[in-house]
């Protein structure tokens, strides 16, 4: 089946998978967003315990999605993995640190004889929620703004900036996506609490937070879209030569109408989910989730399937990475494609586990009468 496909088709197939994982990863940021809202939404220790236990049931799914995204990138496009993770290692180590302290926090916050106290681990959750999401937004923004790397003829990576990825923070336009993701994650987190916690007063507080963070999210997201559509981008011609061209990212969408249609549909679903949440609908998180996945999925697709490199180089344009020059071999992609057929079963298990965990909603009575985990 897969061994009969052309190499270019396999490359596209795996970019579709990575794009889909990227969409799920951003949706799972509701965990990080929820962590930033714990102190703002809780009025006492009991309510704080409710929020942390609500997120504690799902935090591993977010971490797993991040690992799957990195693993798929490594397996299908190893040159991208080695260039980004190997060259910009200070940026990725900072992101990894933010997620490590998240895992530690859920594990040790309520352990007996806690040396540092619960407050320390709650601070770690906030760092993961704010800084972790922001830095991932900065890293993803580099897919459009470019990075400082060069490749030798043997594909050895030379990073042309001593900060190894953290120099992306010097470009204020990269902040647009970083802040947009932070406020989006808080919207998702509040919508998730409305679905997972059964308490009318908490639901009203969540609605107020969704109002505030929507007004903060929209300007940054709209500014990001305007920026990438109007900026000079990285263009690949028929001879595979990379150059700078105006409006290339807008043209990528216009040249692929289906991608544009589903991108707009995703935006409309995000807005519909926000409207549902404001109307106190407990199912808003699912409308929001589908919308977020569609937006990110099609944004990634526009890069890989358009006439632009998905990981451009500012230092040396011809070192920019495309699906063609960054992928694994034909044999590797073919074998992995058979393994990818298990993905629907994994998704089905995640959906089953989600429903099983949320069958009984979290209440104050449950947290008062039973020994909580986190």
Closest CA to 21 of 74, 58, 57, 94: 74
pLDDT-wise least confident of 13-27, 99-113, 148-162, 242-256: 99-113
pTM of the full structure: 0.95
342-363: buried (b, 16+ CB within 10 Å) or exposed (e) per residue?
A: eeeeeeeeeeeeeeeeeeeebe
Give the separation between CA 116 and CA 14, rounded to whole angstroms: 44
User: Residue 103 and residue 109: Cα distance in Å, rounded?
Assistant: 10
Digit-coded pLDDT (tens) for 172-208? 999 999 999 999 999 999 999 999 999 999 999 999 9
Per residue in 18-54, pLDDT tens?
999 999 999 999 999 999 999 999 999 899 989 998 9
> Which structure tokens are listed for 224?
């990001």
Residue 371 has pLDDT above 70, yes or no: no
Residue with tokens 């509040």: 190
Lowest-confidence region among 9-13, 137-141, 351-355: 351-355
Closest CA to 177 of 135, 214, 116: 135
């Amino acid at each position: 089946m897969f061994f009969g496909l052309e190499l270019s088709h396999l490359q596209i197939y795996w970019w579709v998978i990575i794009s889909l994982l990227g969409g799920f990863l951003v949706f799972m940021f509701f965990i990080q967003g929820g962590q930033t809202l714990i102190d703002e939404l809780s009025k006492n220790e009991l309510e704080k315990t409710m929020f942390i236990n609500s997120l504690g049931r799902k935090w591993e799914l977010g971490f797993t999605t991040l690992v799957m995204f990195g693993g798929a990138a490594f397996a299908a496009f190893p040159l991208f993995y080695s260039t980004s993770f190997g060259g910009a290692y200070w940026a990725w180590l900072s992101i990894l640190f933010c997620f490590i302290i998240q895992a530690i926090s859920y594990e040790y916050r309520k352990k007996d004889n806690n040396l540092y106290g619960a407050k320390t681990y709650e601070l770690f959750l906030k760092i993961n929620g704010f800084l972790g999401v922001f830095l991932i937004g900065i890293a993803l923004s580099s897919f459009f703004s470019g990075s400082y790397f060069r490749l030798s003829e043997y594909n050895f990576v030379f990073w042309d900036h001593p900060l190894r990825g953290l120099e992306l923070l010097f470009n204020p336009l990269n902040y647009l996506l970083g802040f947009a993701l932070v406020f989006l994650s808080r919207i998702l987190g509040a919508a998730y609490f409305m679905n997972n916690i059964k308490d009318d007063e908490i639901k009203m507080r969540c609605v107020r937070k969704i109002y505030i963070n929507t007004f903060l999210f929209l300007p940054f997201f709209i500014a990001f879209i305007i920026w990438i559509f109007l900026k000079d981008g990285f263009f690949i011609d028929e001879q595979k030569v990379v150059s700078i061209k105006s409006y290339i990212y807008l043209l990528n969408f216009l040249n692929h109408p289906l991608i544009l249609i589903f991108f707009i549909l995703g935006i409309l679903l995000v807005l519909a989910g926000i409207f549902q949440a404001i109307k106190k609908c407990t199912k808003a998180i699912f409308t929001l989730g589908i919308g977020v996945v569609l937006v990110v999925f099609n944004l990634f697709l526009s890069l890989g399937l358009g006439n632009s490199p998905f990981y451009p180089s500012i230092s040396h344009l011809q070192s920019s990475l495309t699906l063609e020059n960054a992928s694994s071999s034909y044999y590797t992609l073919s074998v992995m494609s058979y393994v990818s057929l298990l993905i629907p079963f994994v998704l089905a298990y995640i959906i089953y586990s989600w429903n099983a965990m949320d069958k009984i909603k979290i209440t104050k009575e449950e947290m008062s009468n039973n020994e909580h985990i986190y």
